[in-house]
Structure 1
Amino acid sequence: MFDFSFTEMLLAGVVALIVLGPERLPKVARFIGEWVGKIQRLATGVKSELTNHAEYTDLLNIKNQVQQTTQEIREDLRDFEEKIQTKTEAWKNLPEQKTPADFGVDEHGFPIFSGSPNTKSQIWQVKSLKKQSMSRKRDMRPRHRTTPKLRMRK
């Protein structure tokens, strides 16, 4: 705050001792110390109030930004909802359904032949749907083969 050197403070102390006298000097020094302490506490209180006010305004700005972004998100969601409602129905976009005839069987699960089968062996050569799916699953599995271990003589 104020820049006093040691010699200036010593000179002020000597002048105060001469003017006030040795009896009143401790009382005056205590009184001045109390007032300096009060002024310092008042200054720190004002500083803390100013920082609190600055933090409060920052928080208000953040709150306003959050409210604006939430409002924008709500508007975007409303627009998206309107777009979804104006789209065509979902079942119109589905691919065409497959029938059992596409898999080579009739409605009851019996195989369909292009011609009349001559023998029983031709009838039993057609795989059922379950066997077809099982063979597809088996073909899709990764094959684990053991690698041969090489042995070396020492």
Structure 2
Amino acid sequence: MTMAERVSFFNGRLQEYQSSVSFDAASSVFVAHFIKGREERLAYFRSIAANVKPGGLLILADLFGDKSSPEFARLLNAWLFSYASHGVSSEELIQDRTHVERDVAFIPESELVALLKEAGFSSPLRFYQTYLFGAWVATRDV
């Protein structure tokens, strides 16, 4: 069986997706941090939960952080410094910083964990972090 025979494509918002089967796992990579507003982000996570079997896993990777904390500023500056050290021009660095500050809806980890729990996932556990990027694994409630 080819990959094309095993995969079906859906073009639209996850909140509109209806599957006839539940999945063992789901992943969300660099999506949720662009969703502004608590209720819309909660609806996104609930849509994932609705399509995952009880006991199934969610792997989530997103930007996160409390913008008002001193740690946030340090991590953002360290990330941009690291980025700049790879030969990025000053203009591109300014554009990227503006994009991050304007378009990313940062939330503290405690709020992210609370949203995941409210959406139907238990025991969210951060297993990775570099600068402001984090990754969590959570289990769909039984």
TM-score, normalised relative to structure 1:
0.19
Higher relative contact order (CA 8 A, sep 6+): 2
- More helix per residue: 1
- More strand per residue: 2
Q: Which has the larger radius of gyration?
A: 1
